[in-house]
Structures are given as structure tokens and as C-alpha cells.
Structure 1
Amino acid sequence: MELRRIIADYFTQREDVRVVGQAGNGVEALELLPRTQPDVLLTDIIMPQMDGYTMLEQLAHMDLERKPGVIVLTALGRDDFIMRAVQLGARYYMIKPFDFSTLYQRVVEVARTRPTLQEALMSPPPTPAESSRSADEKIASLFLTVGIPAHIKGYQFLREAVKLVMDQPEMINRITKELYPGIARKFSTSPSKVERAIRHAIEVAWSRGRVEVLNQVFGANVCSPDDKPTNGEFIALIADKMRVDRTA
């Protein structure tokens, strides 16, 4: 309850965010949704009366004009907990304690991608910039799920690499001659630093033991704890997943 008040106070002080409601449990949250119509719903997993998983299941069946994007904030960091929340529709899963500025960024990202059904039907095709932003958000969600934190340098480089290989699959075969140098130019660094930072990001994910989550995301045993992929293999894997999702 104390954390809920702290979060509410934090966002109340921001001019670009409006807190439309607070609930002490899942039952109250579901009752508030039709009346408040929030863009984003922040929830824990452990709550009285109705836990976060049950609330997500019931939210999926609610007849709302626009359903909120859900961000889970919890102390439960086990892979199966994370995977279940993502499967039930959570956009982001943040482990306590978390950085409030990162939470704010996630709220803004989710809020920007919550069109109403009518808006979705009437809106023109996305511009290249909008498509790029959507890809960034999906990649960010996937990285979060597999355990790559946003604050490390390799996160940016890896995200850029995935986007480039999504659009130009053949570039994965020119990883040292074109991919790393291209990313290095964009971020004003060296190709060797790009390579090392991406390798570190992958090592962080493996050290957190999220390999099983990655396999569940892909629906197959694509990785094992003892068989860490190379930079190129990991980039190709994520890029392939993104391309499949984009055409689905």
C-alpha cells in the first residue's frame, strides 16, 4: 500500500501523466477500469482478494472500448512468473526495487500505443517513424523478458543490430565488416566496443538464468544454459522472431 501511494505521488507530480484511480486489490482494479478507462495499469502479482494473474485473465475478457496496457511491478523474479504474466498480456515486467525514471519511460511507451478500436480501424498505415518506434517497443519488451537490462550500453547496440538485421537479413553475414561499424558510426564509438558491449549484454541474460524463458518465447528449445550463443546467433534469433511477429 505504501509503494502504491509513493508511485501515485510520483506520477501526480508529472505534468504529462494523470493518475485516474488507485485500487488496493485486483477486484477493486477491475471495478475501476470501465469508469476510469486508463491507458496504463500498474499492478503487482501478490494482492488480496484477487492476485495479479487472475486479474489479467479477467481483464482479457472484459468488454472495454480500450483495454489498458499492463505493467507488472513485483518482487517475484522467477522465470515462470515472468513468462506467465507476459503470456497473459503484460507489456512489461519490472522487478522491485525499480528505478522510477525507467518506470516513467515504460508508462509513456505503453500509453502511446493504446489506440481505441475505432482509432485503429480508421487510422492510416503507420509511417516509417511509427513503425520504427513500434519495433523499438517490441524489442524492448523481448529484451526485458529474457533479462537484458536497459541501462547497459550493449542494450542500445543490440537493439540497433536487431533492427538492422530485421530489415536486411543478409547483413548478419557481414557482422564485422558492416553491422558493427554501422552501429559504431551511429553511436560515435568503435566497432570493437560495439562487439564487446553486445557480448556483455548476452552474458548478463545468461547469468540471470532466463534461458528457459527465451525458449518459451520462441516455443522451442533454441538455447541451453551451457550453450551461450555468439553475438551473431543471438542477433539473428531475435531478428527472426521479430520478422515472424511482424508478418503474423
Structure 2
Amino acid sequence: MEKLRVVIADDNRQFNMLLTEVFNSQPDFMVVGNSYDGVETLKVVEELKPDLLMLDIIMPYLDGIGVIENLSTMKTKPNIIVISAVGQENISQKAVNMGALYYFVKPFDLNVMIERVRQLVFNLPVKKELPEGMINQSSTKNSINQVDLESEVSEILKELGIPAHVRGYQFLRDAIIEATLDADLINGITKALYPLIAEKYNTTPTRVERAIRHAIEISSTRGKVDALYKYFGYSTSQERGKPTNAEFIALISDKLRLKLKKSSKAK
């Protein structure tokens, strides 16, 4: 059986690499190219003429929608499946209307993704227990690589002494999940991550920042010393003080990201 030729287009290099490893581990897929911005994606697709393009919506220079628009003028177009951390219905619907076969929203289970891609591109029967058209974050509790990120993060926050009823708990949990899947969000925590969480909960970035700060302050007083040392390398009761929002999110998301990579390689 001839392998399906795949190009991965995602500006998050770690996630791009993760998808590459997953596709290359399958007997019927082969990643032939990678790209990290929209303009580069058009060049790679034109040169390699892949069967499938896994396309991130948010990329530098030219976004995923722009890529789809440009590809529509090509004589030979690949099948397109969109991947993004953006869960807005209008964007996903626009991508599908423009020709995308499917729309995945991070986080998602990599095994589910591979099976659904296989169903779409090889015209296999679609399993009815999976939603048609889009897998969204609220309906998919399993994160990539069978590691339930939501449960994993919830356990960590519990260990660090942050109660679930605190408003900042939800914001902090989702921020860690998003940063685990897209490390670049940490570099734009005020301009990208806070607004992303704020939009989801219909609030403001400033309130998100303050609520997360409050949750972290609770952790410094209620968290176990050994747990604080485990994640931050020091007790927040010592002279270094409390970690900043960015430090807190970055350190935990980095540990989870490493766990995802190890889990992927184990397969």
C-alpha cells in the first residue's frame, strides 16, 4: 500500500515535531515536509505536492485561511485538515466552507485524530460516536497522546493547594493546557494567552490575570512544601517569594510537554 504523503504546517515547532512523529509511526502515512509560516507553507505544498496538508490557522506572515484561499487557485490541491487552538465557530466554519475536510481544536487525542484522518482521506466509514465536522475542546476530554491534560492539570493544582471553587482555578487550568499545547503563548502571555482565556469565559484579560494571581497566592500558603519544591525547585515561602503568573504557567506546562513527548516516543 502506497503511503499518503503529508505536510505539517504549524508555527509551534514542538507541536509540529510531535505530529510528524505520530504520522511517521503509522504504516499508511509519511511526512514529506514541514513548514512554520503561511508563506513557507504555500512554497512547500507547491514543491512537494502532498496528498494531505495538516494546517494551523494562526501562523506568521499568512494565516491558515489565507493559505486555503491561495491553494484554491492551484490545479492540484491537497486534502486540507485544519488544526488550531482557536475554537471560534465562524473560523472553523469558514475553513470548512473553503474546502477543509475537517477542523480539530486543541487539545485532542492523537489516536482519534489519526483515525479520523484515515476515515476522511481513505473514505472509510465514520464512527458515529465521534462528532461530525469538528472536535472541540469541551467535548474532547482526552488531550493529545492519551494523556488527559485536564485531569492531569487538575491533579497538579490540587496538589499545589488551589481549590477548584476559586475563579482563578479555571483560568489557570486552561492557561496551562493552552501553554502546554502551544509554548509560544508564554511569550505573549498578556497579548495572547490572557485574551484567549478571557474570550472563552466572556470576561476581560485583566480579570483573568488578577484571578490567576490570586490562585497562585493561595498555592503559596496552602500548597505542600514538597509539592512546591517538586514543580518550582524551591518553596515559595522562602526568600525567592511567589512565582509570577508566567513562571507558574511555564514551569508546569513545560513538565507536561516533556511528558507528552516521552509518551509519544514510547509508542
Q: What interval of TM-score do these two structures reach, taking the shorter chain for normalisation?
A: 0.3 to 0.5
- TM-score, length of structure 2 as denominator length: 0.43
Bigger strand share: 2
- TM-score, length of structure 1 as denominator length: 0.46
Bigger helix share: 1
